[in-house]
Homo-oligomer: A and B are copies of this chain.
Amino acid sequence: MTTSEEQRAVDGTAWPAVIGIDAGGTRTRAALARAAADGGPPLRTGVSGPGNALSVPLDVLTSHLRQAVAAATPPWLRPRVRAVAAGLAGCSALPGNAGAAHARSALRAALTELGIRPEVVTVLSDTEIALAGAPGSPGDGLVLIAGTGAVAARITGGITVATADGNGWLLGDSGSGFWLGREAVRSALASLDGRGAPTALTPAVLAHYLGEMAPDEPATPAAAQRLRDRLVRAVHERPVVDLACLAPLVAQTADRGDPVARRLLSGAAEHLVDTLDALSPRPGQTLVTTGGLLGPGGVLLGPLTRRLAPRGLRPVPVPDGLAGAVALARKALAGTGRPRGDPAG
């Protein structure tokens, strides 16, 4: 929000507002925007911690939603919020989805605590808001997300009709940032005990976790064993999902020609193609990709595009789900049929 807009807000030019929320395994983001369909990009955004509706405990999820919304919406603008749309990882519109119930409770509590009383609150999955964020805001298509986690969804009329994977780091998320990071540590450990080939991932992973440059080849088996022990302990001392932070390091190591790192990137792309294939994609179908690994400039966007091109599928990367969440909040408000105030702000 620019200073003149702040001024107008204080002056009481009471344009109605909407909030869009994008909550994933690593962070929760909120954006405040004008309610008008042509109201332009978000005016303010806020960010907080993890927002996966299945894996983040209810009180923590509530707190992260509240922090992100509070940062995006200063107190004097809160009464103007007419609609909120949130897309959360771990949440779907399929009947009986536990994440959706969790997300609705958390969002309701967060908004009440902030004194925000919108006319419409929409809780969706991260995949649904991602699709709505693509040019033309399509309601039908496929979405493939690879960030900390990995999931694919088929969406019809704005609603998820099928998903694949998205099962979390312990049981799934094949090809995700977590998957890449864990495989990088495994490759380093295997090279240190002789199970695997030597790889430039070993000094890189050791430097990341132990804050020092390790020798490419430890001098003795005992030295290698000490490094393994220290690495295993260092990984366990941090939150498990921090393994996803290694994904850029795998990409850099692959760029420098390391065959083990290259195989990991290929393996991740193959897993993501398998996940997408479970939804029987058709040539020419809209395919939105997002998340750290598949958004604009993501390290797996190239490998994925190369694998899908011969099949008539072209990924459309979007940076995140915020734009889509704002679009859906605006649409939901328009759908209520109530007067929308001054559409031009």
Q: Is A73 located at the chain interface by the 8 A CB criterion? A: no
Most chain B beta-carbon contacts within 10 A, residue among A195, A228, A277 = A195
Residues of chain B contacted by A189 (CB below 8 angstroms): 165, 167, 171-172
Q: Is A29 located at the chain interface by the 8 A CB criterion? A: no
> Are the C-beta atoms of B186 and A94 separated by less than 8 Å?
no
A233 in contact with B54 given A186-B172, A195-B274, A222-B94 (CB within 8 Å): yes
Q: How far is the CA of A236 from the CA of B94 in the complex (A)?
A: 21
Give how many A residues have a beta carbon under 8 Å from the other chain's beta carbons. Answer: 43
Partner of A182, one of B171, B193, B230, B274: B171
The distance from the CB of A98 to the nearest CB of chain B, in whole angstroms, is: 6
Partner of A164, one of B92, B167, B185, B194: B194
Q: How far is the CA of A40 from the CA of B230 in the complex (A)?
A: 41
The distance from the CB of A90 to the nearest CB of chain B, in whole angstroms, is: 9
Residues of chain B contacted by A240 (CB below 8 angstroms): 170
Partner of A171, one of B98, B186, B221: B186
Residues of chain B contacted by A92 (CB below 8 angstroms): 225
> Are the C-beta atoms of B94 and A161 separated by less than 8 Å?
no
Residues of chain B contacted by A171 (CB below 8 angstroms): 182, 185-186, 189, 232, 235
CB closest chain-B residue, reference A225: B94
The distance from the CB of A125 to the nearest CB of chain B, in whole angstroms, is: 11
- The DSSP consensus for interface residues of chain A is helix
CB closest chain-B residue, reference A274: B195
Q: Is A157 located at the chain interface by the 8 A CB criterion? A: no
Number of copies: 2
Q: How far is the CA of A96 from the CA of B230 in the complex (A)?
A: 9
A193 in contact with B170 given A97-B225, A233-B54 (CB within 8 Å): no
> Are the C-beta atoms of A195 and B232 separated by less than 8 Å?
no
Q: How far is the CA of A302 from the CA of B161 in the complex (A)?
A: 45
Q: Is A211 located at the chain interface by the 8 A CB criterion? A: no
Q: Is A275 located at the chain interface by the 8 A CB criterion? A: yes
A interface residue numbers (CB < 8 A to B)? 54-55, 92, 94-99, 161-165, 167-168, 170-172, 182, 185-186, 189, 193-195, 221-222, 225-226, 228-230, 232-233, 235-236, 240, 274-275, 277-279
A-B contacts, 7 of them at CB < 8 A, read: A97-B226, A98-B229, A167-B228, A171-B185, A172-B232, A194-B279, A195-B278
Known: A162-B221, A171-B182, A194-B278. 4 other contacts (CB 8 A): A96-B222, A98-B229, A161-B221, A164-B193
